[in-house]
Chains A and B, each alone.
Chain A
């Protein structure tokens, strides 16, 4: 049963080609093809899940290339981590595609959208199933290009086109790290199979560097500081794309990669600590920006960066189960939030939360499901996010580093604050602008309800009530999860504090003391401007690169080609000089002849004098 796994990505791949080739003739049919393929993959993933009780199954499909004598094969590895990811991708993916039938209905490139989404699904599932780093890299770039094409889906908008390029090039910076990491492993004669990872011989330092380079790839994909700049811009794409690619699945691939090659990190504490630190920085930084953003999708985008940072933090602190658990729950409730946001945007035709308000009366299903998702993200008991966040707290507590624990707590507080702020501003209160908002059609609300159910109940499989069934499944250890009342109360208090502060700020209009003091203003402006990181990159990398290219082009034209042309000009000048001797007048030639003769005679004369 498990050995059917390689068929899972095949269905969407076929759907991609069908939609690409016959898209315009299929019309709405292209969506049905994509959804059907996705559902078939989901069904097969369930079968594989049921077939795989524990352990891992790996098998080769075909040889691919031989690198320095090491054969790299097209291989499949199915273990608990891969199965979890398969289920997340196919279930969330199917829901989002059903939603897209409504959301993208009427778009001129409807079939093209589903073609790209299908290609994305195929690449993402291939990425999950890859049994070695090179195969993973291949699909890794595949999802990257789908992301780029979908971000720039509405390419008529210059900002969308620019965002597509930025998404690809920024992640490519990280991917270069991943590529060099792969090359280091190959050059030191190591296998690229995940199953063979661990206990690598060779220089300790070099292996740590390889792990860090692989993490650089993960940072690019998972939009971790300092490579996070592309994700907020990527919100230019359709909201359903943001839900699927930039919230639930592709951006989680970085976390997946770290989890997949976890042994490499645990073997080298330096690498593991870096993962934790980068995760902590990203989590806090992005959460703080999310508090000041007014574009609903930007809030969710920064929230995604922050939550991915939390997962990295958990993994870096040794919380393997906690990190992967949060990856799973986050996929469901963040997809739900994005789809809910899409439903809202669909209704009010703006993304600015300052122009919304009181929408709960007009769109009840969207509002309730969105609030469920937001509370799950804020970590309110007993929703899914609560349990996974609780696991992360526990892992960090056991790890014992107070700074990392503090970062997680601060992130959690900020998360509760900004999500509550969003809810209050969109759904409660009074409308701030005139709208004719209405509830979205069933094809859109249906998936919202399904995802809301997951966001509510999914946490229990990792909770003490199920003896930590998820943790046992993912780690293969038999130890259960114990109820820790202190931690539960602590984290609930943190969430409630965040929600309460948002309530005071938004609903009551309470101003913090000293809000007007210039030093605070300065701080707020820095956060509002995303810490000026985009401007910094513009100044540090993009402008110098443009200048370098322009300078090289001038150099190429003036110096290098100039030298070539100079040789030609010189030759021509020499020829002109030579031509002057050829006057065509007999007397000139005669004169030269006589002169030559005279010189010759003098020479001979000199020789003769010398002899005698």
Chain B
């Protein structure tokens, strides 16, 4: 099928147009249209996974059309094992978060319109092969997100939205600088990621370091890497539930995706030198995030900081600079999207009933909301890396990858896992265990809410028991990455 990836990227655009054409008063119709288009995207991505050739090396379904030929800018897209997992994650969480958007009651039409634009940006970012196109999609994500937080968010939504916007914009400006730097120093001048990586940039090493750092800073804000993480708790707490799901599940992965897609292939010599600091940053993220989460009194903020902690594993896997570490990191990106996405959905379920996120307001919910208790316990166990559930595989592989080369970092990472375990168990204890509160009678999760989370539960189990289900797709991409080094 020609232009398959282009169809996938711009299907939400058709969805946005469709939503725009429906009068604002038909809220149900708008919602159904948006869900329908997101479901369509998911089906298309599932088909993509099915026809994706796992044995082929390099990009598949790639297409390239001159866009601004005078500057050698091409609209080029393609998919490989690295991006496939993230595209699937985007499509899946995109649909589930859209399903969970029933709680949005204000300006429904605008919400779904902006949401569809967000989808275009995310899918495009993961599929673009041209740096300019990549940058445009990257920025496309920023603006809908700004509105989603700023309009449909909580009490301090404007502060959070501005903070998110400026912080990530500052990061992307650095990235733009680096893109231009790479363009003007490459011969022939090119924005094509593949062409730039093969045979690599032949420019002086110091300049490469500067370019690398600019890219790295741009991505680090998004990941977020300590100490550039403070926009995240604010944005997460203020964003409405479905937007938090997207934010944690997909947006954070854009940063780590960039590290793997751009920083590594373009600057392999530089990144080898920076492996050690990246590993340190990974461990700092891991432990700092867990400790900060531990002391939070806000349920959502706690999950937000635990995301910081989990993204540390991705950095650790990158720092390993070997196939096991890369496999673990990419798997961890996928798993984190699934697990944390589900976590934010669960926080949202509780918020809908209690209109508070204070942990102190909960307790004893296992008695009154058994179905909720099951899902929360399950996902908390997955988050703390319980073997048999997906989180463990990614974490174990990153640790096994990093251990032979930076064993001290690996050991500190293992010890950090104790804090993560304590964090999530105490969360279970505070929210689910204990005596039920007097006069609190929140209804248990209904079938619809459970149905939205159920696919994530299944995926967590499948990947936990049979990690090859995901790993087989990324094998060749990982080999390609390792060959750059």
Q: Hey, which chain A residues are within 8 Å of B364, CB to CB?
A: 155-156
Q: From A137, A155, A173, A186, give the contact of B366 (CB < 8 A).
A: A155
Can you identify 11 A-B contacts, CB atoms within 8 angstroms? Answer: A141-B386, A142-B388, A148-B425, A161-B429, A164-B433, A169-B425, A179-B396, A183-B414, A550-B295, A556-B230, A564-B163
The A581-595 residues at the B interface (CB cut-off 8 A) are: none
The A165-212 residues at the B interface (CB cut-off 8 A) are: 165, 168-169, 172-173, 176, 179-180, 183-184, 186-187
Q: Hey, which chain B residues are within 8 Å of A63, CB to CB?
A: 468
User: A65 touching B292 by the CB < 8 A rule?
Assistant: no
Top-3 shortest CB links A-B: A155-B433, A138-B387, A161-B433
User: B429 touching A156 by the CB < 8 A rule?
Assistant: no
Q: Hey, which chain A residues are within 8 Å of B166, CB to CB?
A: 568
A138, B468: Cα distance in complex, Å: 16
Q: Hey, which chain A residues are within 8 Å of B415, CB to CB?
A: 176
Cβ of A546 to closest chain B Cβ, rounded Å: 8
User: B381 touching A145 by the CB < 8 A rule?
Assistant: yes
Instruction: State the B residues within 8 Å of A (CB).
Output: 163, 166-167, 227, 229-231, 288, 291-292, 294-296, 322-324, 364, 366-367, 374, 377, 381, 386-388, 392-393, 396-397, 399-401, 403-404, 407, 410-411, 414-415, 417-419, 421-422, 425-426, 428-429, 432-436, 467-468, 471
A161, B418: Cα distance in complex, Å: 18
- A490 at interface, CB cutoff 8 A: no
A552, B419: Cα distance in complex, Å: 14
A42, B399: Cα distance in complex, Å: 38
Cβ of B109 to closest chain A Cβ, rounded Å: 33
Cβ of B439 to closest chain A Cβ, rounded Å: 17
B288, B324, B396: most-surrounded residue (chain A CB, <10 A): B396
- A465 at interface, CB cutoff 8 A: no
A561, B322: Cα distance in complex, Å: 34
Cβ of B174 to closest chain A Cβ, rounded Å: 14
Contact with B along A329-366 (1 / 0, CB 8 A): 00000000000000000000000000000000000000
User: B393 touching A180 by the CB < 8 A rule?
Assistant: no
A63, B471: Cα distance in complex, Å: 12
- A152 at interface, CB cutoff 8 A: yes
Contact with B along A137-154 (1 / 0, CB 8 A): 111111001001100100
- A22 at interface, CB cutoff 8 A: no
Q: From B292, B374, B433, give the contact of A552 (CB < 8 A).
A: B292
User: B397 touching A67 by the CB < 8 A rule?
Assistant: yes
Whether A169 touches B418, Cβ cut-off 8 Å, given contacts A549-B292, A556-B230, is yes
Whether A169 touches B434, Cβ cut-off 8 Å, given contacts A67-B324, A68-B401, A548-B291, is no
Q: From A155, A165, A172, give the contact of B426 (CB < 8 A).
A: A165
Q: Hey, which chain A residues are within 8 Å of B387, CB to CB?
A: 137-142
Provide the main secondary structure of the chain B interface.
helix
Q: Hey, which chain A residues are within 8 Å of B396, CB to CB?
A: 134, 179
User: A145 touching B386 by the CB < 8 A rule?
Assistant: yes
Q: Hey, which chain B residues are within 8 Å of A64, CB to CB?
A: 467-468
User: A187 touching B425 by the CB < 8 A rule?
Assistant: no
A462, B221: Cα distance in complex, Å: 66
Closest to A176 in B: B414
With contacts A64-B468, A183-B403 known, what are 6 further pairs, Cβ within 8 A? A65-B393, A169-B418, A172-B418, A172-B422, A564-B167, A564-B231
A145, B322: Cα distance in complex, Å: 32
A361, B400: Cα distance in complex, Å: 61
Whether A186 touches B471, Cβ cut-off 8 Å, given contacts A552-B295, A564-B230, is no
- A162 at interface, CB cutoff 8 A: yes
User: B414 touching A165 by the CB < 8 A rule?
Assistant: no
Whether A179 touches B288, Cβ cut-off 8 Å, given contacts A141-B387, A156-B367, is no
A184, B410: Cα distance in complex, Å: 10
User: A179 touching B295 by the CB < 8 A rule?
Assistant: no
A65, B395: Cα distance in complex, Å: 13
Closest to A555 in B: B292
User: A155 touching B432 by the CB < 8 A rule?
Assistant: yes
Q: Hey, which chain B residues are within 8 Å of A141, CB to CB?
A: 386-388, 392
- A483 at interface, CB cutoff 8 A: no
Q: Hey, which chain B residues are within 8 Å of A155, CB to CB?
A: 364, 366, 429, 432-434
Closest to A134 in B: B396
- A553 at interface, CB cutoff 8 A: yes
Q: From A67, A165, A556, give the contact of B429 (CB < 8 A).
A: A165
Cβ of B292 to closest chain A Cβ, rounded Å: 5
A169, B418: Cα distance in complex, Å: 7
Whether A183 touches B295, Cβ cut-off 8 Å, given contacts A67-B324, A161-B429, A556-B230, is no
Whether A560 touches B230, Cβ cut-off 8 Å, given contacts A165-B429, A176-B417, is yes
Q: From A156, A169, A545, A548, give the contact of B435 (CB < 8 A).
A: A156
Q: Hey, which chain B residues are within 8 Å of A548, CB to CB?
A: 291
Q: Hey, which chain A residues are within 8 Å of B421, CB to CB?
A: 168-169, 172
B294, B401, B419, B421: most-surrounded residue (chain A CB, <10 A): B421
Contact with B along A385-405 (1 / 0, CB 8 A): 000000000000000000000
Cβ of B308 to closest chain A Cβ, rounded Å: 10
A545, B411: Cα distance in complex, Å: 18
A481, B407: Cα distance in complex, Å: 47
Closest to B364 in A: A156
- A158 at interface, CB cutoff 8 A: yes
Cβ of B59 to closest chain A Cβ, rounded Å: 24
A137, B387: Cα distance in complex, Å: 8
User: A183 touching B410 by the CB < 8 A rule?
Assistant: yes
The A508-557 residues at the B interface (CB cut-off 8 A) are: 545-546, 548-550, 552-553, 556
Q: Hey, which chain B residues are within 8 Å of A152, CB to CB?
A: 429, 433
